[in-house]
Amino acid sequence: VLTRIDHVGIAVRDLDRAVELYERRLGVRVTAREKVVTEGVEVAMIPLGESRVELLSPLGADSPLTKFLEQRGEALHHVAYHTADVDAALTVARSAGAEVATDRSRPGAHGTRIGFIHPKSLCGVLTELVQDDGQPRS
């Protein structure tokens, strides 16, 4: 069961510049930054009520995000839905014919577990599933 939109991910080339732009032009505040080495990205989180905006930039040329930015430029990158059980949601999606990036959830930023569903399975939108692991939300 998906309970809400956890965050939307926005691909940016320069994280410092993006943070400055979003804070100044929208009046929002980044409260946490983290390098997620396993995903090849650095993220900056902007909390907004029950949801967040996640600005993400590649950590290196071999990051999957580098290819995305070359092909699409800065753009909406993914939509993330909150669920109590990422593995169960991945199983439902897979059994319904969706292509999942990995069969099992894996660690994400800020003490979460995450999974991804391929954009071609959901009308062109890379879809992330997110589950808290009980740590405080940033």
39 binds Co ion (CB under 5 A): no
Tell me the residue number closest to Co ion, measured at CB.
9
Dihedral of alpha carbons 10, 13, 14, 20, sign: negative
Dihedral of alpha carbons 33, 37, 42, 44, sign: negative
Q: Which stretch binds Co ion (CB under 5 A): 58-66, 77-85, 87-95, 115-123?
A: 77-85
Residues 6+ apart with CB under 8 A from 33: 15, 19, 42, 43, 44, 45
Footprint of Co ion on 49-68 (CB under 5 A): 54
Tokens linked to 55: 């600005």
Query: Pick from 45, 80, 89, 126: which binds Co ion (CB under 5 A)?
Result: 80
Query: Pick from 45, 112, 126, 128: which binds Co ion (CB under 5 A)?
Result: 128
Residues that bind Co ion (rule: CB under 5 A) add up to a total of 4
Residue ranges in contact with Co ion by CB under 5 A: 9, 54, 80, 128
